[in-house]
A and B are shown apart, each in its own frame.
Chain A
Amino acid sequence: MGGAKPSSDQSDEATKKLGWATRVKQGGLKSIDLVQNRLNLFYIWEKRWLFVALAVGASMVIYVHPSDLSDAGVAVLAMSVVATILFITEPVPLPTVALLIIVGQVLLLGIDSTDVAKSLMTDSVLFIMGSLMLAVAIVKQRLDKRIAWLIVRLTGTKTSSICFGISLVSGVLASFVGEHTVAAMMLPVGITLITLTSDNPRAVRNLAAVILFSICYGCSVAGIGTPSGGARNAIMIGYWKEFFYDPTNPDTSIYLIDYLNWMMYAYPIFLIQLPLVTMLLLFTFRPEYRDLSRAVVKLRHQVEEQGPMKSADWVAIGIFFTVLLGWITMSQELGMGTVAVAGAAAFLVVGLVRWEDINSGVNWGVILLYAAAISLGIQMKETGAAAWVAQHFLAVVGPVGADDGIGLWAAVSLLTTGVTNTMSNGAAVAVLGPIVLKLAVFAEESPIILGYITAVSSSFAYLTVVGTPACTIVYASGYLKTTDFLKVGWKMVVMSTIVMMIMAIVYWPFLGI
């Protein structure tokens, strides 16, 4: 465009003052204007990361041909890189990435489309789907007021104990039914407490932060507690089985992690973190009110309006505990996904939730996304791409002493924390899982320990709004700023990492790996 400039050099002062756009036009290039109108620059700018990602992917497929990796491996790697860039920058709606992964597997890897379709549905995906339906059903039972009443009965009216009570109850619930469920249930409780304390939002700025973060961080630290706490746990269990379990070799049955086994490893980590979360929050935000008795009295009135527990409430609680029992006792034979789906079906059969509610409450695109990400993760293993990345990762971290033992654990934890803060934690585990598990093989570490470290670290997404479901839901209330997440989030990351590393070093060896 600059080419038209010299033609008007000799023109007078006034013309010089005009911008280049005018000069170009005066040079007779009115067509530029036409092009500018026709071509939607904004569209290109908005989607720039899509083009960047595709360019990176294409150049990888064309130019990168390492001697120790097959062409299919390069293609899978390229797809993973493109998917990761798209996960983080979101130039297109995220389910589009899932669709692109499916298309890519058929076109780039030449896999039969029926096989690709088959690889999409696994027990982990079924579990994610079932537990999301359960989540909607549980939120719809309107048990939140009962839970709120329970909390304030237990804790009294002191702000610090209410916050701990909220974290504890949110956490325990979230560890079984998933953090998004509990965040959605508890959010109104938190906001009601805040608005009942004061109508002036400025006067309760810090109180609001403490209460709302008690909910979302309580849920976040709990999500790792049991396999049903979050999609990422189910994904990791699926990867262990896919990567290491061999039905002909009885020794490999340790890679079939069941519900209780997971809880033994992870639940104590959650319990230890709970009081620390409350302390960190109170220390960081220092709420304006030390006592919430005014709000609590009003809340109690609201709750009492609801009257005693109805039979429908008991049925809902009954189904919920049956599902829980099913996960604990039967997930090995039936699969966790089957139990979750059966629970959702039970809620529908007894009429406690309408299908329309489930249909509009579950984001089906997320299920598709997880399905495609897991399917890609398995291709990472099949084509040797995961192994290749793992080897190179070890070569890079080797010089700083992080290629085995605790150094490697910390490196994996750090890597996962970094990735999970930029995208949803399930996607982070789906992308990183295959690499980490292969890493364990090459470093001669236990894949189970590194797998747990990845799954647990993926919950350290305290820094951003998009990191964990609970943060996103609580942020939607409009009471928190993104900077609040940074302000307290880094302390949470440090605290959680230290707790996890100590547990990994001190406690896990007792469990016999």
Chain B
Amino acid sequence: MKGGTPKVTEPKKPKTATDPDVFEKRKNRFRILVCIDGSEESYRALRYASLMGRGDDCDIVLVYVRPIDQGLHSGGLQVRVARQNLLDWGLELPGMKHLKKGLDILMEEGQLEDDWGTETTHTDIAGDPLGDNKIEYFNENGKSIVLKLKTASDPASGILEQYHLGPYQLIIMGASGRSHYGFRSMIDRAVAEKVAVNAPCSVLVARDLKPGYGHLVCTDGSQRSFDTVRKDAEMIVRRFENPMMSVLSVAPDEESRADAEKAANTAADVIRETGIDVLETIVKVGDPVEQIVETGQDYSLIVMSDSGTNRLKRLFLGSVSSKVLEKAKNSVLVIR
């Protein structure tokens, strides 16, 4: 971290998605944004991300959002004076420790070698003296792992802003919410929901995330749900060492059981087409939300399709997937 004299860093143009070349290049990579808040859940989520992020075509970005240092409430003395004093004592910005622990985990998992190049970037943020800080580790094949200490008014908007700096295919965040360290449990339930609703890409909300039990994909027989199944299989499941998927279809009543079975079988065919084995094909009767939540407990995570691409609609309508997100006891992946 920057210490010593309070010199004003030249605003360096960050590599962002506004640069069309970078944007295009990043679009073809599998980029995972892991939100770290210092909780055990977020580190479990990071280990999971590491399992799917082995290939060279995959980037892992760790982000920690800290609140903006602002001077108006501190009686006119800028918080930067206190912050500078802290840095002079050798104390770090809140969050840096968590990010470094995350990096240690990735090292343990063999994601990162010592000989990788590094690059440190600092971006000035209006209203905050220390702005955003980023450390990027990369190997010669272009794979990179990034630690990002982001400054934003609140965690959810920080995470969403981070999305717009470079497109991601997947955002992973913990849902447990108990940050054992410091200020407001950074990624609490509300934050996870806010991100899941607003993010333009797929979002995995991790709750007690255990790898090795496979994905449970839910289908309602619509084309959108089959697309979801295909996308999950092609984008995420195939990255694991032994890919496993199961299909669940819920019929609202006994009469429509046949339809549900048909939907489940179609989905299973879609999965087989991608070369992944289907573990189970389950058909349940009853309330979709309840059935999905209950059946889903035996799997690593529940895969849902997003209810629509319109953000406004997502915000107001509420859907099976957002209800599942709210009620599920384990992890939920919303494919978008």
> A interface vs B, CB < 8 Å?
19, 21-22, 36, 41, 93-95, 128, 132, 135-136, 139, 142, 144, 178-181, 183-185, 187-188, 191-192, 195, 201-202, 205, 230-231, 357, 360-363, 365-367, 369-370, 424, 426, 465-466, 468-469, 472-473, 475-482
Contact = CB atoms under 8 A, between A and B. Distances in A.
Closest 10 CB pairs of A and B: A478-B94, A469-B75, A366-B76, A363-B71, A184-B82, A188-B89, A180-B77, A478-B182, A472-B73, A201-B181
Interface string B168-191: 000000000000111111000000
B125 interface: no
B231 interface: no
B59 interface: no
A366 B72 contact: yes
A94 B82 contact: no
Contacts of B310: 21
Interface residues of B, number: 40
Interface in B10-36: none
B76 A362 contact: yes
By secondary structure, the A interface counts as helix
Contact of B182 (A128, A184, A465, A481): A481
B78 A361 contact: yes
Contacts of B81: 135-136, 139, 184, 361
B69 interface: yes
B83 interface: yes
A476 B89 contact: no
A179 B75 CA distance: 9
A359 B67 CA distance: 23
B86 interface: yes
13 contacts: A135-B81, A144-B85, A188-B85, A188-B86, A192-B89, A361-B77, A363-B72, A363-B77, A366-B71, A424-B72, A472-B74, A473-B79, A478-B93
Contacts of B316: 19
A468 B82 CA distance: 15
B95 interface: yes
B80 interface: yes
A21 B311 CA distance: 11
A178 B81 CA distance: 14
B185 A360 contact: no
Interface string B89-103: 101011100000000
A312 B287 CA distance: 76
A367 B94 CA distance: 29
A185 B74 CA distance: 13
B129 interface: yes
B73 A465 contact: yes
Contacts of B79: 472-473, 476
Contacts of A466: 73
Contact of A469 (B74, B89, B183, B184): B74
Given A21-B308, A360-B78, A363-B74, 13 more contacts: A22-B308, A184-B77, A191-B86, A195-B91, A201-B182, A361-B80, A365-B71, A365-B72, A469-B75, A472-B75, A473-B74, A473-B82, A476-B67
A132 B78 CA distance: 10
Contacts of B8: 360
Nearest to A140: B81
A341 B317 CA distance: 59
A180 B74 contact: yes
A430 to B, nearest CB: 13
Given A188-B89, A476-B69, A482 B82 contact: no
A363 B183 contact: no
B44 interface: no
Contact of A205 (B38, B86, B180): B180
A362 B73 contact: no
A363 B76 contact: yes
Contacts of A183: 74, 82
**Residue from A184, A191, A231, A482 with most neighbouring chain B CB atoms (10 Å):** A184
A183 B85 CA distance: 11
